[in-house]
Amino acid sequence: MRRREHGEFLTAPEDERGSFYVYEAPVRLWHWINAGSIIALAATGLLIAHPFPSLMGEASHHFLMGDVRFVHFVAAWLFGGGFLVRFLWALAGNTYSRELFHLPLGDRSWWGSLAYEARWNLFLEKRARKYYGHNPLAQLSMFVFFVLGSLLMILTGGALYAEGLGDGSWADRLFGWVTPLVGQPQDLRTLHHLGMWIILVFVVGHIYMAVREDIVGRQTSVGTMISGFRIFRK
Amino acid sequence: MSETVYEVMRSQGITRRSFLKFCSVMAAGLSLGPAYVYDIARALETKPRLPVLWLHGLECTCCSESFIRSSHPLAKDVILSMISLDYDDTLMAAAGFQAEACIDDIMQKYPGEYILAVEGNPPLNEDGMYCIVGGKPFVEQLRRVAAKAKAVIAWGSCASWGCVQAAKPNPTQATPIHKVLTDHPVIKIPGCPPIAEVMTGVITYITAFGRLPDLDREGRPKMFYSQRIHDKCYRRPNFDAGQYVERWDDEGARKGYCLYKVGCKGPVTYNACSTIGWNNGVSFPIKSGHGCIGCSEKDFWDNGPFYKHLSNLDGFGVEADADTIGMVALGAAGAGVAAHAVLTGIRKPGQEEGQDRPGDKGQG
């Protein structure tokens, strides 16, 4: 394993080979817990919005919607709590752990690589560039869709949770202000639905780009989030 | 104003026993403990009646209709005796100049002591010409009377949020009163109309305690608006169990299951209908088998349709809610990814002409 001191922006040299430890254990653990919580949240969220066909019989014999909502809330704690822990880890972890939250907008070479990645994905460039961390296009889309999308979901979800816990509850004090900001409770719901679709669209793009990078790029991608090592090819 | 509420009630033939019953009902309605019954009674025995000026802007008078139907047997008498309703152009005997003179009279006699109750709202477009009261735009009357009021009550969704006349595209620019009276605290009693007992309860509170009740972020009294219809709905167990009305004529509808799937807005509506009920507590919409339409929430006319629990969004064509839009976006993303994958297979980026992978021209 080799380590390197890098600048703010982390393009690897054209001839870089070998493996580099980039994603530390907390980042990888969070990534997969987060992936699982998103699947659970989206599935149960859809079931809350469009419930199963009505059950018959005594109400006291069933607790279907109650259980679906319980799973949603547990997953929401993992998602929201995980997001907070992940943010704190960015303060303690290595350079790559900060890329999710910090875009080097002042770095000209970052913008250059962003344009390069856009051209690469439009089949206008023949060679993939190498990056120790995220390529700028991935970093930008993660920030816009995932980080901002997650904040939207945590804020609107927290405010919806506050409706159940009630006036004066911790959730109300923490998130209650969101409701008048966006309009009224119905608008809050609409935004929470839209937020889910923003994150799901991101998930589709994210998985596709990660797998594609593994196949036609010149570095590992999916495996890196499992082992932590970025391995460069020729 | 020299008379107390109690004196007026006795003079109208209400017994002391009935008076104390009323005080108990009000204490319960205001979520106060039994000890407060005597506080309320003492206040009503000793404090002079509140002068109230009740103005009508753009509205349908449903708030007044609700108010005069206060369900408690005594409420009609009590409330109308509790306040000194010195101006209400719908209910008062005087008309024309005499009626308008009442306003000036009260404003001169009791500056800073009267309550301004507003039903409806002022339209601001065309200098307020869409609503004329006494020959002048209503907004002028509103501003003038509010200037010396002790407190301002916004009756109903019109005064609180704008309601139907402020629905898109709002041609008259009907505006809720808190946006016009920006330097006054406005207590909002939304609903189309508000529940009669909520209206009387607020007046009782102000009379008895001489101050406004605790308000939430939106300026609504917490005692009546701090929980959703859904939180206290008697069909909530059906919601949690997963038992829904799927169609209006199905078995679930006959059994009285939850109306969530046919668009009940109970989960997004703050009001006291599911506890206090309407018409002497006889019923409320959900109890009658129809979903809540969210009439006490901001812009409920624009958050339709009434029979879907997710709103349609503007700018996306007919009948497009967040989920249909999201589904289309996700489908487009999936199709885009698939097309890109196919193109990637054809163009083989990353491989130079005649090059095999993994390559053997390594530079290392």
**How do residues B82-111 score in pLDDT, each as one tens digit?**
777 888 888 788 888 888 898 999 999 999
Confidence check: pLDDT of B174 > 90: yes
**How many degrees, rounded to 5, is the angle at CA B206 between CA B67 and CA B41?**
95
Tell me the C-alpha distance between A77 and B328, whole Å.
29
Instruction: Report the complex ipTM.
Output: 0.90
Q: Name residue B240's amino acid.
A: D
Q: Quick check: B231 contacting A, CB < 8 Å? A: yes
Which CATH number is associated with domain B227-337?
4.10.480.10
The residue among B153, B152, B177, B151 whose CA lies nearest residue B163 is B177
**Residue B303: its chain A contacts at CB < 8 A?**
184, 186-187
Residue whose entry in the numeric block shows the structure tokens 């306040």? B83
The residue among B263, B265, B247 whose CA lies nearest residue B255 is B247
CA atoms within 13 Å, Cβ hemisphere of B44? 28
Domain boundaries, chain A: 18-51+63-232
What spatial distance separates the first Cα and last Cα of chain B, rounded to whole Å?
98
Tell me the C-alpha distance between B321 and B306, whole Å.
13
Residues pairing with B174 in the sheet: B123
Find the mean pLDDT for residues A150-163. Answer: 97
Residues of chain B with CATH 4.10.480.10: 227-337
Interface of B with A in 60-99 (CB under 8 A): none
Tell me the C-alpha distance between A225 and A142, whole Å.
15
Confidence check: pLDDT of B359 > 70: no
Tell me the C-alpha distance between A96 and B254, whole Å.
60
Interface of A with B in 136-175 (CB under 8 A): 163-164, 166-167
For the ranges A72-76, B214-218, B311-315, which has the lowest average pLDDT?
A: B311-315
Confidence check: pLDDT of B354 > 70: no
Closest Cβ–Cβ partner in A66, A167, A193 for B240? A66
**Residue A65: its chain B contacts at CB < 8 A?**
239-242
Tell me the C-alpha distance between B215 and B223, whole Å.
8
Q: With an 8 Å Cβ cutoff, are B350 and A201 in contact?
A: no
For the ranges B55-69, B107-121, B288-302, B312-326, which has the lowest average pLDDT?
A: B312-326
Tell me the C-alpha distance between B34 and B188, whole Å.
27
Q: Topology of B5-223 in CATH?
A: Rossmann fold (3.40.50)
| CATH architecture for residues A18-51+63-232 | Up-down Bundle (1.20)
A interface test, pick of B31, B247, B298, B342 with most A CB neighbours within 10 Å? B298
Q: Quick check: B178 contacting A, CB < 8 Å? A: no
**Residue A177: its chain B contacts at CB < 8 A?**
217
Q: Quick check: A60 contacting B, CB < 8 Å? A: yes
Q: Which band of pLDDT confidence, cut at 50, 70 and 90, is reported for residue A8? A: low
pLDDT tens, residue by residue, A162-198: 999 998 999 999 999 999 999 999 999 999 999 999 9
Closest Cβ–Cβ partner in A62, A176, A197 for B243? A62
Q: Quick check: B218 contacting A, CB < 8 Å? A: yes
Q: Quick check: B112 contacting A, CB < 8 Å? A: no
**Residue A186: its chain B contacts at CB < 8 A?**
265, 268, 294, 297, 300, 303, 311
Residues of chain B with CATH 3.40.50.700: 5-223
B interface test, pick of A60, A181, A204 with most B CB neighbours within 10 Å? A204
Q: Quick check: B333 contacting A, CB < 8 Å? A: yes
Q: Quick check: B36 contacting A, CB < 8 Å? A: no
Q: Which of B69-83, B299-313, B321-335 has the highest mean pLDDT?
A: B321-335
Tell me the C-alpha distance between B189 and A232, whole Å.
66
